[in-house]
């Protein structure tokens, strides 16, 4: 079973708290503040690891939580920043953060992306020393890290995909062309999940995927193949494998039409990919018949196929030609290791990061007589940082609110000193000393 979907929850670490501390030395009667800052919480980082094949591990382990930053200590010692929490994903993983609308494409070994940033550490009391406040008795708390659900989807990284009806001979071709060992059987649906093989021709390598057989209705979900069509979305070339002598006596032309219709129904532009047609199992028919079929298909398809190749996995006929045609059909610069852009307009960022923006603002609203609510990320962060049960910390918060323009905005809404203010669920009496300006 190939696990190609998973949903994980990532939670970056909380920053360490700053600390309140005063210097104590035998010969210094009254030392100054020396509380150090807290360290950063752990980022959560996804890294592309070629030793992984699919997302199975992520079905078992859903939660990933980064550790806390260390707390500050006296003597101006800062807490340690936590090491990032590294989560490995296989090459070809598309990561989607629906809430933020971000998306990352991890295709190259060691490629990494920070999906959740650790919270910053709080400042120790030393940082709050001012000319008028020589001995601050408060420090900041560390902030929580970012968190959220991520959707992981694996889209195999193959340059070329083998498509065709069940039993057409796709796996036999892959085994013959590459060192892969897909299962081959004389019954339909032998291949239950895509298998990749590497084709070496003229010092180039291209990756070929063997996709489970497609049947009529596959585009709408019938059979097995439809689940795996996502994996050929990234390919540059499709090899349509057509049995020259189907056991069930079916007509190759009708079979060809069935598969092409399903590719089109799937709807990801698969029908626009260049085609190579491979007439398989040639050893089962007289050579003249195979040659005549190839001529007929070339005529019928014209420009629609890069080439029509007669093959036999049993005898090796046509294998070199098929290999060359595939390699030629996959442009060098687009070979699998170059991460590619998706069709949709949103440019794919390798390291797109969400940062709480500097342009975020606050909103003030009246919630009742003598009661107000202030919302917005910067004010909520400020409250998260401080213990307003501590008088000094509360005065510091008031000063910050004033500097941010919150006090003035409250005044404009009819706020009177001493009224209640709620920020992020915390209600407190705000009594700014220096008026409402
Ligand atoms: N004589 C002959 N038999 C072949 C050849 N290629 C495949 N076969 C046989 O055809 C049957 C199907 O081959 P597979 O390679 O498993 O076909 P497939 O397209 O991968 O089938 P699914 O995985 O079920 O979609 C097996 O019994 C193979 O031995 C060939 O070139 N010559
Ligand atoms: Mg197969």
What is the best residue among 2, 171, 223, 240 to mutate for testing ligand 1's pocket, by most ligand atoms within 8 Å of CB? Answer: 171
Please indicate whether the domains covering 1-155 and 160-334 agree at the CATH topology level: no
Measured between alpha carbons, how far apart are the two ends of the chain, in Å? 66
Q: Is 171 in the pocket of ligand 1 (CB under 6 A)?
A: yes
Q: Is 194 in the pocket of ligand 1 (CB under 6 A)?
A: no
The residue ranking higher by pLDDT, 161 or 335, is: 161
- Domain covering 363-429, topology: GMP Synthetase; Chain A, domain 3 (3.30.300)
Residue 339: per-residue pLDDT: 39
Instruction: Retrieve residue 115's tokens.
Output: 């999906």
Q: Read off the pLDDT of residues 147-179 as tens digits, 9 standing for 90 and up.
A: 999 999 988 778 899 999 999 999 999 999 988
Q: State the closest ligand 1 atom to the C-alpha of 186, by its place in the atom list counted from 1.
A: 27
What ligand has the least distance to the C-alpha of 168?
1
The secondary structure of residue 159, as a DSSP letter, is S
Spacing, Cα 27 to ligand 1 middle (Å): 90
Residue 345: per-residue pLDDT: 38
pLDDT of 358 higher than 60: no
With pLDDT > 70 as the criterion, what percentage of the chain qualifies?
A: 90
| Overall pTM > 0.85 | no
Q: Would you say 4 and 56 are in contact if contact means Cβ atoms under 8 Å apart? A: no
With pLDDT > 90 as the criterion, what percentage of the chain qualifies?
A: 53
How many distinct helices (H) and strands (E) make up the chain? 9, 18
Q: Read off the pLDDT of residues 365-405 as tens digits, 9 standing for 90 and up.
A: 999 998 999 999 889 989 989 988 888 898 889 988 998 88
Helix (H, G, I), strand (E, B) or coil at 279: strand
Spacing, Cα 187 to ligand 1 middle (Å): 8
Q: Read off the pLDDT of residues 7-37 as tens digits, 9 standing for 90 and up.
A: 999 999 999 999 999 987 766 666 789 999 9
Region 255-270 average pLDDT: 90
Residue 225: per-residue pLDDT: 67
pLDDT of 338 higher than 80: no
What is the best residue among 168, 171, 172 to mutate for testing ligand 1's pocket, by most ligand atoms within 8 Å of CB? Answer: 172
Q: Read off the pLDDT of residues 198-217 as tens digits, 9 standing for 90 and up.
A: 888 877 878 899 988 888 77
Residue 29: per-residue pLDDT: 62
Question: Poorest-confidence range of 105-109, 221-225, 327-331, 334-338?
Answer: 334-338
Residue with tokens 């092409």: 260
pLDDT of 73 higher than 70: yes
Sketch the domain layout of the chain as residue ranges.
Answer: 1-155, 160-334, 363-429
Instruction: Retrieve residue 118's tokens.
Output: 């650790």
Q: Is 248 in the pocket of ligand 1 (CB under 6 A)?
A: no
CATH number for domain 160-334, candidates 3.10.20.30, 3.30.70.1430, 3.40.50.300, 3.40.30.10: 3.40.50.300
DSSP 292-337: HHHHHHHHHHGGG-SEEEE--TTT-TTHHHHHHHHHHHS-GGGSTT
- Domain covering 1-155, topology: Spo0b-associated Gtp-binding Protein; Chain: A, (2.70.210)
């Amino acid at each position: 079973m190939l696990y190609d979907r998973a949903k994980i929850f990532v939670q970056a670490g909380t920053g360490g708290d700053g600390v309140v501390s005063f210097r104590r030395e035998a010969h210094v009667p009254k030392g100054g503040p020396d509380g150090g800052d807290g360290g950063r919480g752990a980022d959560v980082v996804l890294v592309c690891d070629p030793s992984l094949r699919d997302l199975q591990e992520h079905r078992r382990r859903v939660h990933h939580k980064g550790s806390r930053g260390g707390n500050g200590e006296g003597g101006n010692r800062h807490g340690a920043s936590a090491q990032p929490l590294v989560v490995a994903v296989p090459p070809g993983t598309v990561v989607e953060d629906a809430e933020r609308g971000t998306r990352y494409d991890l295709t190259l070994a060691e490629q990494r992306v920070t999906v959740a940033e650790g919270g910053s550490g709080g400042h120790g009391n030393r940082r709050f020393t001012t000319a008028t406040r020589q001995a601050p008795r408060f420090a900041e708390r560390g902030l929580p890290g970012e968190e959220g659900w991520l959707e992981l989807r694996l889209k195999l990284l193959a340059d070329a995909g083998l498509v065709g009806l069940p039993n057409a001979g796709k796996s036999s071709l892959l085994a013959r062309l590459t060192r892969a060992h897909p299962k081959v059987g004389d019954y339909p649906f032998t291949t239950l999940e895509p298998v990749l093989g590497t084709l070496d021709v003229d010092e180039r390598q291209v990756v070929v995927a063997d996709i489970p057989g497609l049947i009529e209705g596959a585009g709408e979900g019938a059979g097995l193949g439809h689940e795996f069509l996502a994996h050929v979305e990234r390919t540059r070339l499709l090899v349509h494998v057509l049995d020259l002598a189907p056991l069930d006596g079916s007509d190759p032309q009708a079979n060809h039409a069935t598969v092409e219709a399903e590719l089109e129904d799937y709807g990801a532009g698969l029908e626009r990919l260049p085609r190579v047609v491979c007439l398989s199992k040639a050893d089962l028919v007289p050579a003249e018949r195979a040659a005549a079929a190839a001529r007929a298909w070339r005529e019928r398809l014209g420009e629609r196929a890069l080439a029509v190749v007669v093959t036999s996995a049993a005898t090796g006929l046509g294998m070199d030609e098929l290999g060359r045609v595939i390699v030629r059909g996959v442009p060098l610069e687009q070979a699998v290791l170059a991460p590619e852009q998706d069709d949709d307009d949103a440019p794919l960022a390798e390291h797109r990061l969400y940062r709480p923006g500097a342009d975020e603002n606050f909103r003030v609203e009246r919630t009742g007589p003598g009661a107000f609510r202030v919302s917005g990320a910067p004010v909520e962060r400020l409250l998260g940082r401080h213990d307003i049960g501590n008088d000094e910390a509360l005065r510091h918060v008031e000063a910050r609110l004033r500097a941010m323009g919150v006090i003035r905005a409250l005044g404009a809404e009819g706020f009177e000193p001493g009224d209640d203010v709620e920020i992020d669920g915390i209600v407190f009496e705000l009594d700014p000393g220096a008026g409402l300006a």
